[in-house]
């Protein structure tokens, strides 16, 4: 009799365990079915069943394993028997066996792993599994490092037209700004050259150019640098005017540099040369200040301007420097710019803001030019802005180089 009771007790316990596993399995399955945005659970009387993702589910604290899919949890069940019993036959689960389950996430699009918020190790494994994706990511980051953002209609249009840069993407302000004729011209040029065009908000454009005036367009492109390979000079033609090179010594302000490049191109300077050290590089700000002329006019960089001047002097060129209105105590004679006539190849030297020409370069000058004031100056006002002075001096020299005609 004892053996029979023990066997009956074990059989009943076995049935209870099976039945509990089935109920827990059904609760987990229905809970995960509610994850799908199109799934609908109905009661027998037709009323919508409350969202089970916000209710507490009862699961055993042990025997839980991950399914192969990795996104569901099911109790471990041995065997395949499924009993059919009423609700009254389900045993009471002890409080110690009840656990809280975290609230189920929403649709799959809202899960963290669907949004890319994964660990760096997992990202590395993913790229290792897909060599093409790793190559694409590496290429994108390299292109981002080797690119800059031009802003403004003229810089973007001339950069696309001249083809000196590798244009990657054109950003256009969404809205009525894209309907302006100037902006449409930039878009047409970008489309003609196969450059991707993307419409963005004004806030995004402001961020790209650090709040500067972009006129509704920005262009991501490779940077421009000073040219270092010296091109052979063109042989002068009969009756041609002598060439003029503009040499910049440590001009550091990008607005000044842009204005100088624009004036030099407009007035007909043959070449712009700059020192590579203590000088402003060719940045998008310089391009905007030049109204895009930096995309057209080539600017050469030299490690040593003094050495370059010596080579040009040996070839028959003359070196002309510039000083302020009070220029005195210099080894070379100081002349008013209107008194100088350019009759042979000339290098015009312009010093940087504040310091002017370096003493080393002043010693190589045959003559020093100045722009005299036309009124008595107040104390502290001694000279012109370097870009303004450059424009005046270039016009004076270039208009005089044809036999002294003005």
pLDDT digits (tens, 9 = 90+) for 243-258: 999 999 999 999 999 9
- pLDDT bucket at 108, cuts 50 / 70 / 90: very low
Residue 8 lies in a domain: yes
| 92 and 180 within one domain | no
| Cβ burial, residue 227 (10 Å; 0-12/13-18/19+) | middle
What average pLDDT does range 118-139 have in this prediction?
A: 46
Q: Is residue 173 part of a domain?
A: yes
Answer yes or no: is pLDDT of 87 > 50. Answer: no
Are 254 and 375 part of one and the same domain?
A: yes
* Domain annotation covers residue 114: no
Residue 350: pLDDT band by 50, 70, 90 thresholds? very high
> Residue 103 — pLDDT band, cuts 50, 70, 90?
very low
In a domain, 303, yes or no: yes
Supply the range of the domain harboring residue 318: 244-398
Q: Say how far apart CA 345 and CA 241 lie, in whole Å.
A: 9
339: pLDDT strictly greater than 70: yes
CATH of the domain at 301: 3.40.1280.10
Give phi and psi for 8, each to the nearest 5.
Answer: -65, -40
What does the pLDDT read at residue 221? 98
With residue 74 as reference, give the H or E element that holds it.
strand 73-75
Q: Is residue 24 domain-shared with residue 63, that is, in the same domain?
A: yes
DSSP 19: H
Given 99, 122, 155, the domain boundary residue is: 99
- 388 and 286 in a common domain: yes
Mean pLDDT of 152-162: 98
- Asked whether residue 125 carries a pLDDT value surpassing 70, the answer given is no
pLDDT of residue 274: 97
Same-domain check for residues 250 and 342: yes
Higher per-residue confidence, 180 vs 82: 180
* Residue 58 covered by a domain: yes
Whether residues 269 and 339 fall in one domain: yes
Nearest-angstrom CA–CA distance, 406 and 399:
5
Crossing angle of helices 254-267/386-398, nearest 10°?
Answer: 10
pLDDT of 356 reads 87
Reported as a pLDDT band with limits 50, 70 and 90, residue 16 is: low
Q: How many CB atoms within 10 Å of residue 323?
A: 21
Predicted confidence at residue 298, as pLDDT, reads: 94
Average pLDDT over residues 61-72: 44
Same domain for 257 and 368, yes or no, is yes
Contacts of 326 (CB under 8 A, 6+ apart): 382
Domain limit, last residue, from 190, 221, 252: 221
Report the domain count for the chain.
Answer: 3
User: Are 31 and 138 in the same domain?
Assistant: no
Establish if 47 belongs to a structural domain. Answer: no
The 10s digit of each residue's pLDDT in 283-312 is 999 999 999 999 999 999 999 999 999 999
Is the pTM of the predicted complex or chain greater than 0.75? Answer: no
Query: What count of Cα atoms within 13 Å lies in the side-chain half-sphere of residue 126?
Result: 11
Percent of the chain predicted with pLDDT > 90: 50
Residues 332 and 252 occupy one common structural domain: yes
Find out whether 186 and 217 touch, Cβ atoms under 8 Å. yes
287 plus 200 within the same structural domain:
no
pLDDT, tens digit, for every residue of 173-216? Answer: 998 777 899 999 999 999 999 999 999 999 999 999 999 999 99
Asked if residue 259 lies in contact with residue 289, where contact means CB atoms within 8 angstroms, the answer is yes
pLDDT band at residue 156 using 50, 70 and 90 as cut-offs:
very high
Examine residue 82 and state whether it is found in any structural domain, yes or no: yes
Same domain as 316, residue 216: no
Beta bridge partners of 221: 148, 167
pLDDT at 54: 44
CATH of the domain at 211: 3.30.1330.30
Mean predicted lDDT score pLDDT of the chain: 75
According to the model, what pLDDT value does residue 324 have?
A: 79
My answer on whether 255 and 335 are in the same domain is: yes
pLDDT at 399 over 50: yes
| 112 part of a folded domain | no
């Amino acid at each position: 009799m004892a053996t029979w009771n023990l066997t009956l007790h074990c059989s009943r316990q076995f049935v209870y365990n099976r039945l509990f596993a089935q109920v827990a399995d059904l609760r987990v399955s229905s809970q995960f079915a509610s994850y799908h945005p199109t799934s609908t659970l109905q009661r027998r009387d037709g009323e919508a069943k409350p969202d089970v993702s916000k209710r507490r589910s009862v699961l055993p604290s042990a025997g839980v394993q991950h399914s192969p899919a990795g996104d569901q949890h099911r109790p471990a069940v041995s065997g395949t028997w499924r009993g059919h019993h009423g609700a009254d036959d389900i045993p009471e689960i002890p409080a110690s066996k009840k656990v809280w389950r975290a609230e189920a996430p929403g649709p799959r699009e809202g899960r963290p792993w669907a949004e890319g918020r994964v660990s760096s190790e997992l990202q590395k494994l993913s790229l290792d599994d897909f060599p093409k994706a790793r190559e694409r990511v590496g290429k994108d980051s390299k292109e981002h490092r080797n690119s800059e953002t031009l802003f403004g209609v003229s810089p973007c249009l001339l950069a696309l037209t001249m083809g000196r840069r590798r244009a990657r993407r054109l950003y256009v302000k969404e809205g009525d700004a894209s309907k302006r004729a100037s902006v449409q011209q930039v878009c047409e040029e970008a489309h003609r050259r196969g450059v991707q065009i993307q419409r963005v908000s004004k806030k995004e454009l402001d961020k790209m150019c650090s709040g500067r005036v972009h006129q509704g367009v920005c262009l991501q492109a490779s940077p421009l640098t000073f040219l270092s390979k010296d091109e052979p000079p063109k042989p002068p033609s009969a009756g041609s005017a002598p060439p003029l090179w503009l040499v910049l010594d440590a001009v550091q302000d990008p607005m000044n540099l842009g204005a100088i490049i624009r004036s030099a191109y407009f007035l007909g300077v043959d070449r712009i040369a700059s020192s590579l050290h203590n000088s402003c590089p060719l940045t998008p700000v310089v391009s905007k200040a030049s109204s895009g002329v930096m995309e057209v006019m080539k600017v050469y960089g030299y490690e040593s301007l003094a050495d370059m001047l010596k080579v040009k002097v040996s070839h028959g060129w003359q070196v002309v420097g510039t000083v302020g209105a009070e220029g005195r105590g210099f080894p070379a004679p100081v002349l008013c710019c209107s008194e100088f006539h350019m009759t042979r190849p000339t290098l015009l030297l312009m010093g940087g803001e504040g310091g002017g020409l370096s003493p080393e370069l002043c010693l190589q000058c045959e003559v020093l030019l100045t722009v005299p004031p036309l009124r008595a100056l107040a104390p502290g006002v001694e000279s012109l802005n370097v870009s303004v002075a450059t424009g005046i001096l270039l016009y004076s020299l270039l208009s005089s180089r044809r036999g002294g005609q003005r």
